[in-house]
Chain A
Amino acid sequence: MAILAINNLTKYYKDVRALADVSLKIKAGEFVTVIGRSGAGKSTLLRCVNRMIEPSSGRIEFDGTDMRSLGRRDLRRARTRIGMIFQHFNLVPRQTVIENVLHGRLGYKSTLQGSLGIYGDDEKNHAVEVLERLGLADQMHKRCDQLSGGQKQRVGIARALVQDPRLILCDEPIASLDPSSSKTIMDHLHRISRDMKITILMNLHQVDVAIKYSDRIVGIREGSIVYDGEPRKLKKKTVAEIYGSDADDILFEESPD
């Protein structure tokens, strides 16, 4: 049973077609990565899922709900079940780790409590637990602008996790990180997906990382899906098709058949 069903999704920016008739079904607990060149439509696809970008046409069903039919308030409610992490972390730099993590709860709180920043003890304890899981509990009161890139992304993940999400969207989460931090982040996300049964939909441009961690790879080229299947079945020829002339620069080991 699919947690996310995308049918015939199309997006136009003026006359430019960013996404062309994209269809995709993702099961609960799957770890799916989307690979493709810059500008191929990965970011647009991701942001159409939670309607940060409005699709031009098509149907997006998350956990049985038709996303496009939702009004403002229901959309917000739906978004609370969808976490999102970003390439540039998107934290409030001057605030502490735990403050940033608790921002993830604002979607659940009443207007008054949320606007005044009043969090219950249960919420704070939950946040600390999540931070412990990510190895950041001792950094709880540190200002986020004093953290390394890898630590910042972990804060971003913690913020998404306190939402109790069913799906986490990841927009190039390791693009700004060095290889060692990248591995840490990918390991965390993989563990989260497996242990907490959270679905992950991730944009990536490192094909080798995608192959190593995902259950399924979706390849996008110029707004259309050109591959949708298991990582080990991905052929060099397909990678060349996805990346065009950049194919030679891609680190890719075709798995022996």
Chain B
Amino acid sequence: MIASLEVRKTFRRRNLVALGSFALIAALTLGSSVVTAFDWPASLRSFPKALDWMAANFIPDGRALRNAPKIGAKLAETLLVSVMATVLAAACSFFMAILGSKTTRLHPLVSGFVRLVASLCRNIPVVAWAMIFLLSFGQNVLTGLLSLFIGTFGFLTRAFMETVDETAESSVEALKASGAPWLATVTQAVVPSILPQVASWILYMVETNIRDATLVGILTGTGIGFLFDLYYKSLNFPSAAFVVLCIIVLVILIETLSNALRRLML
């Protein structure tokens, strides 16, 4: 009799937890819907509308195809900015991560400062950085480049620090015990250990940055985002949809290349 009471109590508790969670989620959903004025029926209706739009516009018409060279050029610019921002950020993050990681740091205050700066760069969204840089650099490709750079720097510094702590800790211990100086330990043990993972992160960030670059492009009037915005606002939907198609092709190509490189590198 006592055993089944225990069992019933466990199930009752579990059901209460489940019930409580559902209630919480329901309350948050209600609150969010009110605060955002979210129209649930309209959201359902938006799907057939969007599908209609996509069906009507994803097959490019003559005007869209004539825009192909322009689109190609802007895509190339976006890809270029993406790679540049990622590589520059990775270089800075590399140094900062060595100083910031608890495995290789020179001083706890320096490492703490590095972590703070990286956190600031990372937690202020790229779009916010774009808004900030707009006021000094204006509608310029450099604005996008800088915003992506700062955001990527913040992210990669933490990612690289984690990589250092995960892969290099034991060999750093061994070299420290053998009397090796700090710099030699870093270049001869830490750098070779983390390089493959660093390259993998760089490939990942280039992909991510192409997407962020599109967004920033809308706000800074540069790159493929600008072109999409132009067609969209002038209701030239076939061209806008064509831009989306081209972006899809580019992203999938980059992803395939990245995966192949990763497989070969590691």
Contact with A along B173-190 (1 / 0, CB 8 A): 111111111011111110
Question: Smallest distance from the beta carbon of B12 to chain A beta carbons, Å?
Answer: 40
Tell which of A34-42, A114-122, A190-198, A201-209 binds the partner: A114-122
Q: Is the CB of B174 within 8 A of A106?
A: no
Question: Given A103-B189, A106-B188: A90 and B183 within 8 A (CB)?
Answer: no
| Pair B187/A107 contact, Cβ less than 8 Å | no
Determine which of B173, B180, B196 lies in contact with A106 in the assembled complex, contact meaning CB atoms within 8 Å: B180
- Are A117 and B188 in contact (CB-based, < 8 A)? yes
A58 to B176, alpha carbons, bound, how many Å?
Answer: 22
Whether A109 sits at the interface, judged by CB under 8 Å, is yes
Q: Give A106 Cβ to nearest chain B Cβ, in Å.
A: 4
Least CB distance from A219 to B in Å reads 25
A84 to B171, CA, bound (A): 12
- From A25-33, A71-79, A125-133, A240-248, the one touching the partner chain is A71-79
Asked if B184 contacts A159 (CB within 8 A), the reply is no
**List of B residues within 8 angstroms of A180 by Cβ:** none
**In the complex, what residues of B have CB within 8 A of residue A92's CB?**
171, 189, 192-193
B189:A160 contact, CB within 8 angstroms: no
Residue of B nearest to A160 (CB): B178
Question: Is the CB–CB distance between B179 and A76 below 8 Å?
Answer: yes
A94 within 8 A of B: yes
User: Which of B173, B178, B183, B186 is in CB contact (< 8 Å) with A103?
Assistant: B178
By beta carbon, the residue of chain A nearest B170 is A90
Chain A 31-62 interface residues, beta-carbon cutoff 8 Å to B? 50, 52
Specify which chain B residues have a CB less than 8 angstroms from the CB of A82 in the assembled complex: 177, 179
Q: How far is the CA of A76 from the CA of B188 in the complex (A)?
A: 17
Q: What is the minimal beta-carbon distance from A83 to any residue of chain B, in angstroms?
A: 7
Q: Please report the C-alpha to C-alpha distance between residue A201 and residue B26 in the assembled complex, in whole angstroms.
A: 64
Which residues of chain A have C-beta atoms less than 8 A from B186's C-beta? 115
Would you call B187 and A84 a contact (CB within 8 A)? no
- The residues of B that contact A79 with a CB separation of less than 8 Å are 176-179
In the complex, whether A91 has a CB less than 8 A from a CB of chain B is yes
Q: Quick one: which of B174, B178, B187 contacts A116, CB cutoff 8 A?
A: B187
A252 within 8 A of B: no
Give Cα distance in the complex from A126 to B187, angstroms.
22
Please give, as numbers and ranges, the residues of chain B lying within 8 Å of A114 by CB-CB distance. 180-181, 183-184, 188
- Render A80-118 as a binary contact track against B, CB cut-off 8 A, 1 for contact: 101110101111111100000001101111010011110
> Complex formed: what's the CA distance from A169 to B174 in Å?
11
Q: Do residues B192 and A94 form an inter-chain contact, with CB atoms below 8 A? A: yes
Residues of B within 8 A of A (CB): 170-171, 173-181, 183-189, 192-193, 196
- Given A86-B170, A94-B192, A115-B184, output 13 extra A-B contacts at Cβ < 8 Å: A50-B177, A75-B179, A82-B179, A84-B178, A86-B173, A90-B173, A93-B193, A94-B196, A106-B179, A109-B184, A115-B181, A159-B178, A169-B177
17 A-B pairs whose Cβ atoms sit less than 8 Å apart in the complex: A50-B177, A52-B173, A76-B180, A79-B178, A84-B174, A91-B170, A92-B193, A93-B193, A94-B193, A95-B192, A103-B178, A103-B188, A106-B188, A107-B179, A109-B184, A115-B187, A156-B174
